[in-house]
């Protein structure tokens, strides 16, 4: 939203002690939740991203061409599906579980890495300005970099080591 120039306020909640106002309006009881200017609560990252695309000018009108746009959406969806898996990876109870989950995450990152290899001419996924697909993968790359730096494990994605996602 910052990139789009849309004004917003953030309210953090405790996921261990979710407030009643949140549970009353979030059907999936999960974050993120976006409350629009008209006071409409929206949940599910993909639905929120789509709403922002529809409501505010696209950052990247060139991706509006249907096949390209659908492709971006599909990769963004691949990214958002991994959020919870990555949370579990970072919260592994022991070394063996951590390594099993690390292997799973490594395979997922390998897929996006092979996609990125075909898109090296632009700064971001498919253009020189940020779009939903970058937004979807940004937290994954950032957290992978945090895991890498914190635990000194082999990096999940080679690009992470040298990229600007590093904290």
Task: Write out the binding residues for ligand GSH, residues 80-99 only, by CB under 6 A.
Answer: 80, 83-84, 87
Q: What gap in Å lies between CA 20 and CA 123, rounded to an integer?
A: 42
3 state DSSP class of 19: coil
Q: Any contact of residue 44 with ligand GSH (CB under 6 A)?
A: yes
Closest CA to 123 of 164, 153, 95, 93: 164
Applying CB under 6 A, which of residues 13, 25, 30, 104 lies at the interface with ligand GSH?
30
Q: What gap in Å lies between CA 30 and CA 3, rounded to an integer?
A: 24
CB of 90 to ligand GSH, least distance (A): 10
Residue 101 or 161: the one with the smaller Cβ distance to ligand GSH is: 101
Task: Write out the binding residues for ligand GSH, residues 8-27 only, by CB under 6 A.
Answer: 15
Lookup: tokens for 13: 């909640």
Using CB under 6 A, list all residues that contact ligand GSH.
15, 29-32, 44-45, 80, 83-84, 87
């Amino acid at each position: 939203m910052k990139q789009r120039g849309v004004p917003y306020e953030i309210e953090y909640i405790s996921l261990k002690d979710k407030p009643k106002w949140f549970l009353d309006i979030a059907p999936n009881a999960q974050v993120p939740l976006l409350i629009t200017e008209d006071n409409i609560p929206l949940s599910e990252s993909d639905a929120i991203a789509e709403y922002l695309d529809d409501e505010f000018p696209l950052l990247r009108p060139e991706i509006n061409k249907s096949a390209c746009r659908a492709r971006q959406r599909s990769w963004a969806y691949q990214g958002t599906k991994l959020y919870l898996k990555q949370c579990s990876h970072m919260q592994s109870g022991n070394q063996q579980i951590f390594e099993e989950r690390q292997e799973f995450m490594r395979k997922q990152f390998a897929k996006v890495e092979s996609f990125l290899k075909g898109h090296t001419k632009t700064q971001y996924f498919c253009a020189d300005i940020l779009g939903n697909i970058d937004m979807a993968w940004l937290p994954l790359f950032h957290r992978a970099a945090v895991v890498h730096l914190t635990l000194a494990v082999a990096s999940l994605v080679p690009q992470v080591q040298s990229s600007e996602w590093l904290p």
